[in-house]
Amino acid sequence: MAEIRVEKLVKRFGTVRAIDGLSFEVASGETFGLLGPNGAGKTTTMRVLSGLSPVDSGEVSIAGIDALRDPRAVRCVVGVVTQQDGLDDDLNVRQNLEVFGFLAGLSLRVARRHTREVLDFFGLASRSEDAIDELSGGMKRRLAIARALMIQPRAVILDEPTTGLDPHSRNRVWEELAQLKARGVTILMSTHYMDEAATLCDRIAILDRGRILALDPPLELIEKHTRGDVQELRVTTASHSSVRAELERAGIRWREVGAVFRLNREADPAAVRSIAGTRSEVRRANLEDVFLNLTGRELRDE
């Protein structure tokens, strides 16, 4: 049964359709990712599902509850992690969790027990009496996720769980989310990191301008929307303009992605190798390429 069901959701900010007829379903126990660049409508979707943002039309059902009519009931059973950590600087680590649990309806005794449990789960037990500003960025993020688990939710909604984190912290968050999934918790997350989506998600919806462009498991997305391999040209000693001139002369079409020339697949390998001052590489296509092929733009575009 679908744990989260979104149907024909529309939300406008003035004349802009931030969400433009969005429909998808997340199965119970599934980890589902919304992947897209900034401005694609990810955060708005997350906020709508959490009851933090009104919509113009559409339907949302979460855990069998009409989420647009009764958002407070949804938040009794679904943990919400917003994009900002939103930690309370006036309280210490433990108090942040206890107050949250109390507001969610737990008795103080149960809130204290859950606090110990989630701090243990996140390896933060030794920091329980610390002030928030004594924590690293990664710890703050993990505490924000821990907070959402205070209610022992059946589903969590995570808006960009690792944006701005260092690689080590990202890996820890990934590990912890994988453990949550193993416990059967349904996870809906947004991200603009394709590696994050590929690592964690059972299925990914590629979102752009408030619409879903494609929705499949990560490998199927790559199979369907790329040609498997991608040939790239890295500039070593040549100038970018001379490489452009040579590619044009050889009749090879390309797209510049950052400092790399991503070549059209029909490029003749011999012709490519003959371009001086460059190094050519063939790699497996990834979700970044899926997005590029679907939209003609990069995932990192603002």
Q: Please report, as ranges, the residues that interact with another protein according to CB under 8 A.
A: 50, 52-54, 63-65, 72-73, 75-77, 79-82, 84-92, 95, 99-100, 102-105, 144, 147-148, 151-152, 154
144 vs 173, beta carbon nearer another protein: 144
Q: CB neighbours (10 Å) of residue 43?
A: 18
Q: CB neighbours (10 Å) of residue 157?
A: 26
52 vs 178, beta carbon nearer another protein: 52
- Minimum separation from the CB atom of position 173 to another protein (A): 18
89 vs 302, beta carbon nearer another protein: 89
- Minimum separation from the CB atom of position 56 to another protein (A): 13
58 vs 294, beta carbon nearer another protein: 58
81 vs 212, beta carbon nearer another protein: 81
114 vs 225, beta carbon nearer another protein: 114
User: Residues with Cβ < 8 Å from 134, sequence gap 6 or more?
Assistant: 127
From residue 261, how far is each of 116, 203, 234, 241, 265 by CA, in Å? 51, 29, 6, 12, 12
DSSP string spanning 52-76? SS--SEEEEEETTEETTT-HHHHHH
Number of Cα atoms under 13 Å in the Cβ half of residue 43: 10
- Minimum separation from the CB atom of position 41 to another protein (A): 14
- Minimum separation from the CB atom of position 100 to another protein (A): 6
- Minimum separation from the CB atom of position 224 to another protein (A): 36
DSSP state of 107: -
Edge-to-edge order in the sheet of strand 57-62 = 16-27, 2-13, 57-62, 65-66
Spatial CA neighbour of 26 closest among 192, 146, 152, 158: 158
- Minimum separation from the CB atom of position 103 to another protein (A): 4
Chain centroid to CA 256: 25
- Give me the amino acid identity at 96: N
